[in-house]
């Protein structure tokens, strides 16, 4: 019996030592990350850092966080952030955000309110293997625009057969956008659903070291099974593009829209869309739809050339650089 008690005591001491080692490592990693951001010229600070959860968990809580770019144009503030993990299960952490946080942009502050906003990250040897994010409610309120999302899910997973390509899946069960943000008196108040599946290739694999140093530049994007339901119209997007050093896209994107004719007829009948404008849109979309298999379904392929958007040989717009060096 004494021998058994000795073994139990030694095992308890060893496990306690392991927990304190894991807790101190987590604390040191967090402090080092903030120090690296400060060395890079950012304003990065927190008021307090605690690590609790003995004996099974290593839960870090930071309070009054501030991350601001050197020029002050971009930033993020939050009353707290939690990084949750199991001390006996390394390589899996959960990040939980507060219900209220603030993003700073050149156009002004954006208030972010949410319910159940959290993400899980699976990693091994410092490399991110997969991650999932979810929120029951996620709202963005800025000085000029408002966006309210519900049932938000996002997932990222490394494609094993590639060096640095990741599959990203996004979905929102519903979204509300004030019509004034789109055009006065035009458009429904809500988007029925949003679903997107995207492959993104980066210069390097996603690791904690590369993510801490600077945002990685994507080099290629491929859209799969992406669709947006807006009122009675369903838009579907597919395509692929490469990105140059300045973040300009070259490739093509195909857009289809179903039920567009009924939606325009309804908007015209209700008075939300002026008859002259509705007639012009119907004539234009009918012409474009005539190149497809159905006059009630729009099917258009647009070219991309270093950020320029082309319909055939005609330039019709441009895309902003996604991310440059």
The Cα 257–Cα 141 span in angstroms is 29
Which residue, 140, 138, 134, is CA-closest to 174?
Answer: 138
pTM (predicted TM-score): 0.79
pLDDT tens-place string over residues 221-279: 999 989 887 667 788 889 999 999 888 999 999 988 877 777 777 766 765 556 666 67
Q: What is the mean pLDDT of the chain?
A: 83
pLDDT at site 184: 40
pLDDT at site 1: 60
User: Which of the 8 DSSP states describes residue 127?
Assistant: E
Pairing of the two strands 146-158 and 308-311: unpaired
User: Which of the 8 DSSP states describes residue 295?
Assistant: T
Percentage of the chain surpassing pLDDT 70? 78
pLDDT at site 256: 85
The Cα 227–Cα 257 span in angstroms is 9
Question: Helix and strand tally (H, E) in the chain?
Answer: 4, 18
Q: Residue 161: pLDDT above 80?
A: yes
The Cα 258–Cα 254 span in angstroms is 13
pLDDT at site 183: 39
Listed range (40-44, 88-92, 240-244) with the worst mean pLDDT: 88-92
The Cα 115–Cα 113 span in angstroms is 7
Which residues 6+ apart lie within 8 Å of 12 measured at CB? none
Q: Can you point out the beta strands (E) in 69-203?
A: 75-86, 89-96, 100-105, 108-115, 118-124, 127-141, 146-158, 165-176, 190-202
pLDDT tens-place string over residues 102-112: 999 988 999 99
pLDDT at site 165: 96
Percentage of the chain surpassing pLDDT 90? 42
pLDDT at site 274: 60
Which residue, 143, 149, 135, 222, is CA-closest to 181?
Answer: 143
Listed range (41-45, 156-160, 164-168, 262-266) with the worst mean pLDDT: 262-266
Quick one: tokens of 198? Answer: 């995207």
> By three-state DSSP, how is residue 149 classified?
strand
Element (H or E) spanning 4, and its range?
A: helix 2-39
Q: Residue 87: pLDDT above 80?
A: no
Which residue, 134, 139, 173, is CA-closest to 156?
Answer: 134
pLDDT tens-place string over residues 169-223: 999 988 876 644 443 433 455 566 889 999 999 999 998 877 776 677 899 999 9
Q: How many Cβ atoms are within 10 Å of 250's Cβ, its own excluded?
A: 15
pLDDT tens-place string over residues 107-136: 899 999 999 999 999 998 889 999 999 999
pLDDT tens-place string over residues 274-309: 666 667 667 766 766 665 556 667 788 889 999 898
What is the number of residues in the chain?
Answer: 325
> By three-state DSSP, how is residue 177 classified?
coil
């Amino acid at each position: 019996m004494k021998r058994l008690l000795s073994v139990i005591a030694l095992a308890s001491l060893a496990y306690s030592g392991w927990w304190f080692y894991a807790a101190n490592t987590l604390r040191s990693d967090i402090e080092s990350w903030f120090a690296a951001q400060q060395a890079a010229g950012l304003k990065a600070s927190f008021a307090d850092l605690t690590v609790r959860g003995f004996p099974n968990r290593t839960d870090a809580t930071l309070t009054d966080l501030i991350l601001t770019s050197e020029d002050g144009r971009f930033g993020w503030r939050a009353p707290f952030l939690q990084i949750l993990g199991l001390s006996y299960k390394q390589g899996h952490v959960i990040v939980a955000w507060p219900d209220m946080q603030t993003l700073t942009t050149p156009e002004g502050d954006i208030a972010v309110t949410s319910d159940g906003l959290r993400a899980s990250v699976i990693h091994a040897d410092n490399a991110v293997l997969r991650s999932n994010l979810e929120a029951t409610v996620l709202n963005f309120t800025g000085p000029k625009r408002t966006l309210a999302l519900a049932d938000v899910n996002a997932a990222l997973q490394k494609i094993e057969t590639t060096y640095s390509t990741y599959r990203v899946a996004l979905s929102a069960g519903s979204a509300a956008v004030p019509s004034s943000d789109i055009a006065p008196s035009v458009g429904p108040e809500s988007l029925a659903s949003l679903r997107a599946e995207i492959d993104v290739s980066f210069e390097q694999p996603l690791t904690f070291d590369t993510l801490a140093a600077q945002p990685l530049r994507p080099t290629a994007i491929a859209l799969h099974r992406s669709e947006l339901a807006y009122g009675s119209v369903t838009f579907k997007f597919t395509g692929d593009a490469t990105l140059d050093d300045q973040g300009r896209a070259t490739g093509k994107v195909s857009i289809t829209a179903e039920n567009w004719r009924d939606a325009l007829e309804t908007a015209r009948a209700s008075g939300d869309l002026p008859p002259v404008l509705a007639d012009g849109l119907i004539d234009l979309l009918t012409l474009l739809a005539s190149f497809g298999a159905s006059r009630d379904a729009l099917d258009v392929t647009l070219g991309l050339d270093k950020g320029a958007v082309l319909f055939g040989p005609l330039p019709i717009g441009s895309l902003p650089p996604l991310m440059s060096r």
